[in-house]
Chains A and B, each alone.
Chain A
Amino acid sequence: MAASLESTRPEGPSPVAVRASSAVPAIDVAEKAPSLEHKANILIVDDREDKRLAMETIIADLDQNIFRAASGRDALRLLLKHEFAVILLDVNMPGMDGFETALLIRQRESLENVPIIFISAISDTETHLTRGYSLGAVDYILAPIVPEILRAKVAVFVELFKIADQVKRQAEDLRLAQRELEERVRQRTRELAVANEALQIEIKERQRAEDDLRDLNGQLEQRVAQRTAELRSANSELETFTYSIAHDVRAPFRQIYSYAEMLRDEFASSLPANGQRYLNRIAVKSKEMEGMVDDLLSLFTIAKQSLEFRDIDLGTIVQEVVSSLKGEVENRSIVFKVEPLPTLYCNYGLMKQAFDNLLSNAVKYTRPREHAVIEIGCHDQGGEGIIYVRDNGVGFEMENCKRLFGIFQRLHRPEEFEGTGVGLALVERIIRKHGGRIWAEGKVNEGASFYFTLGKIENDRE
């Protein structure tokens, strides 16, 4: 399509093009119509061949296509087939003369504007001029012909014709170009419509895919939520169950101890030494069990509680815990180094219990040290406050690190260090309840360090 437009694009006539086409034979002109710069047709109508030849010779210099007709009838026949720039029409012809021929030519609508130059003998001038002009002649040439005049007149009409023809063809080219353009616009519009439709389909498909995805996502979220709810409920049931078992188990231990104590109080004197020792063991063991169950219950109490959180200065909590611990170990040399601590969003009771357990632990496991040093502080690590409790006590093997926080896990024999093995498990639960994490580092005989974080700290809070 673009190529055909290219071929019809109007171009100004160039002298080079004119000369190049001048070699084309006169007879081929009709076929060469689409050529931009082509020769004009000139029709010579005369019954006498010598006169036709004479005129042809005169205008041959103009280098146009020359048609010859020997009669008005021949002329009309040629006029049906070709378009002429000018007709040289002899007035005096046998049969149909020039005037009659001109009349017939003018009757044809398509030919009413073809310039006609009448050729007439001087003797007839008077009558011929008037008649000729009334028939639409544009000019008159009197015989004998002056070649320069004939050539000049014909040249004017050829030029006129060519200009008119060019204007016509340019208009046609414009029309074609416009039609082409319109067609291209239509074509482009059609293509766009098709593309648009394809796009609409794709958009719909994508929307459907998105909807599907959203649906799936929603289903997944729902399933996760459901599963979480189920797990939470199962977990809560389990905790309630464990709590009630622990609670029920506690009473018999307390009662056994109470009876052992009653027995000791009232009948110790009547028991032999071995009996007294056994009784003591019953009392100690049942008391131990009661203590374990108590610790266990406090674990579940933490798990079940919904907690009140607020901004609490950890420094104050640590001071309280340290001073109460100092009262319990007046006979020991313990240095507490308390570095500045942040204010954290936490539960007062639980945090106090956590520090109490961690510091009591440190006090307990530094017992073999002549001079115990317990450090409490906080360092910032990537915007996260890490709180530490460090001692120079007996430490532990790192491979046992994980066991430290397990319930009833003990790394020492009871006769070395007393305890039920719940303290650190409790701390771990408290920290976890606050959304934080806890870990430990240590080495045998080189002390232990406990670290925990409660998430982001807000140190700058005033």
Chain B
Amino acid sequence: MIGNKWTVLLVDDSVDDRLFMRRIIERSDRLLVVGEARDGHEAIDYLMGADTFGDRVQFPYPDILLLDLKMPRKNGFDVLEWIKSEKSNNLLVFVTSGSWLKEDVERSQALGANGYFKKTSDKHAQEEMVSKILQLSEGKF
């Protein structure tokens, strides 16, 4: 948390979706995007503080992870599995995906995701997503 804001790491291979997500998230004054990763591998490096992400001032450890599923190198499921194996209990993970498949939703849940949101351009749905994230963060932190 920085100030009164929960910190968010965006993980998505689409630069456009990272931009939209950043705008959606920052409409809330309780959320702050502190970093972006372009695939699962980079996300894990960020969380580990590996290499260039070692500077926690520049790359603070996030409270919230917004995680795309379909990505090159390591995908969203790989990241979920890694987080699960780390047993770190100080991170909320929300999957943000274009997939409607029930099996993707179920697999994400089984791997410990705290929520699943379909990517949408609908403002109302976006607001619902943000409030759900805030609600779960309130409960956890």
- Name A's B-contacting residues (CB within 8 A): 243, 247, 250-251, 254-255, 257-259, 261-262, 287, 290, 297-298, 301, 304-305
Contact = CB atoms under 8 A, between A and B. Distances in A.
A297 B121 contact: no
Contacts of A255: 14, 16-17, 20, 121
A261 B17 CA distance: 14
A60 to B, nearest CB: 129
A175 to B, nearest CB: 97
A251 B98 contact: yes
A305 B14 CA distance: 28
Interface of B: 14, 16-17, 20, 23, 98-102, 119-121, 123
Contacts of B98: 247, 250-251, 254
A301 B103 CA distance: 11
Contact of B121 (A287, A304, A305): A287
Nearest to A252: B16
Contact of B100 (A258, A261, A262, A297): A297
Nearest to A243: B101
Nearest to A286: B121
Considering residues A247, A258, A259, which has the most beta carbons from chain B within 10 angstroms of its beta carbon? Answer: A258
B101 A301 contact: yes
16 contacts: A247-B98, A247-B99, A247-B100, A250-B98, A251-B17, A251-B119, A254-B98, A255-B14, A255-B17, A258-B16, A261-B121, A261-B123, A262-B23, A297-B100, A298-B100, A304-B101
B129 to A, nearest CB: 14
A251 B120 CA distance: 9
A290 B99 contact: no
B121 A258 contact: yes
Nearest to A262: B23
A258 B98 CA distance: 15
A246 to B, nearest CB: 9
Given A251-B14, A262-B23, A257 B121 contact: yes
A254 B23 contact: no
Contacts of B20: 255, 258
Contacts of B120: 254
Given A254-B119, A257-B121, A258-B121, A305 B102 contact: yes
Nearest to A247: B98
Nearest to A259: B16
Nearest to A265: B23
Contacts of A261: 121, 123
A258 B20 CA distance: 7
B58 to A, nearest CB: 27
Contact of A254 (B100, B101, B102, B121): B121
Contacts of B16: 255, 258-259
Closest 8 CB pairs of A and B: A257-B121, A254-B121, A255-B16, A258-B121, A258-B20, A297-B100, A251-B98, A301-B100
A257 B14 CA distance: 15
A232 to B, nearest CB: 19
Given A247-B98, A255-B14, A262-B23, 5 more contacts: A251-B119, A254-B98, A254-B119, A257-B121, A304-B101
A298 B98 CA distance: 13
A298 B100 CA distance: 8
Scoring A243, A254, A287, A301 by chain B CB atoms within 10 A of each residue's CB, the highest score goes to: A254
B102 A301 contact: yes
A266 to B, nearest CB: 10
A250 B70 CA distance: 14
Contacts of A305: 102
A290 B101 contact: no
Nearest to A298: B100
B35 to A, nearest CB: 21
Nearest to B123: A261
Contacts of A301: 100-102
Contacts of A259: 16
